[in-house]
Amino acid sequence: MTRRIIVDTDTGIDDAHALLYLAGHDDVELTAVTAVYGNTPVDSAISNIARVLELAGRPNVPVARGAAGPLVGEAHIAFYVHGHDGLGDIWDDRPAPANLVEQSAAQLIVELVRANPGELDLLFLGPLTNGALALQIEPDLFTLVRSVVVMGGSGPFPKLGDVLMVDANVQNDAEAARAVFSAPRTHLLQVGVNVTAQAIVDEAATDRLRSSGTAWGEFSARILDSYNEFYRFAWGRRLSPAHDTLAAALLLHPEWITRSVTGPVTITGDGYVSRAHIAQTWEGAPLAWQTDDAPPTVAVVEVDFAAFLADFERVLTSR
């Protein structure tokens, strides 16, 4: 059965991998790709979508321009992670999509979902601003789709002593995250930094991509160079997590989820970091404060990373 997916993306390095990964599955239809700010400004995100769709052999997928900043406040752009163009600053040109539509990202999402009730999956790979704007147009949006998958959030509150990676997609627009995680839905899966930080593409995997002799593999390795350069200061090695591709993979392969927890999501902020946590401690106990009611979200806690990483390499060296 063909999965029909709308991808909302702030097209940085791991987003580009995720788009290629989805395009590498014959049973996936990229129904549309919508752009948002985050890893890079929204116009760079659009150019990067065009570059990846051309490489993937799917240049005519509809593309829409989305939000250039959060619902409240100013955009924070991760130039220091993804480069000024979002893909490591290794090209001089800025291609335009072959099929850039007139509608905004939110308008296109709502239009497609209303026209295809129960048939589409929504995959959010960047800040959730476009999702929140779409919900303003159609508050029941998430009840009209097959599923919603969010790369963002942090799962349940962590074990004592654990330190989580920054939850950038929630950090960029906590108000949009609150709207998304509180909206009525059919099924919403949170693939948070609590698991994506463990989906490590190491030096050997990068070398195999580079030496694959395929256009996809060489492209994937080339853009990884910038990402690995950033993450060497985290782990002392030139490797990086496949954040967004893991979310895409778990949309297609939910059997790789080996443990999850389900409950309402609470948005927390300490004045520096905002997160979207399932409202329970690691042990499953209630929190030390009263949280707002929200529909249940399924948060991934453990994954078959060996199966995912093998498929990551297989697909990204296949074309």
Residues annotated catalytic, as ranges: 243
List the end-to-end C-alpha distance of the chain, in Å, as a whole number: 22
Compute the distance between CA of residue 142 and CA of residue 49 in angstroms, rounded to an integer. 24
- Say if residues 167 and 153 touch (Cβ distance below 8 Å): yes
Query: DSSP 3-state assignment of 235?
Result: helix
Q: What angle do CA 189, 205, 122 make, to 5 degrees?
A: 20
- Say if residues 246 and 196 touch (Cβ distance below 8 Å): yes
Residue in 132, 252, 242 with CA at minimum distance from that of residue 189: 252
For 207-214, which contacts have Cβ atoms below 8 Å and span 24 or more sequence positions?
Answer: 208/313, 208/317, 209/313, 209/316, 209/317, 212/317, 214/317, 214/318, 214/319
Tell me what percent of the chain is helix, strand and coil, each rounded to the nearest 5.
Answer: 40, 20, 40
Compute the distance between CA of residue 67 and CA of residue 8 in angstroms, rounded to an integer. 11
Q: Name the DSSP letter for residue 33.
A: E
Q: What are the beta bridge partners of residue 277?
A: 266
Rounding to the nearest 10 degrees, give the CA dihedral for residues 5, 246, 22, 110. 20
Query: DSSP 3-state assignment of 104?
Result: strand
List of E strands, the chain: 3-9, 28-35, 63-65, 100-104, 120-124, 147-151, 188-191, 200-201, 240-241, 257-263, 265-269, 274-278, 297-303
Q: Which residue has the tokens 């919508």?
A: 34
Compute the distance between CA of residue 47 and CA of residue 49 in angstroms, rounded to an integer. 5
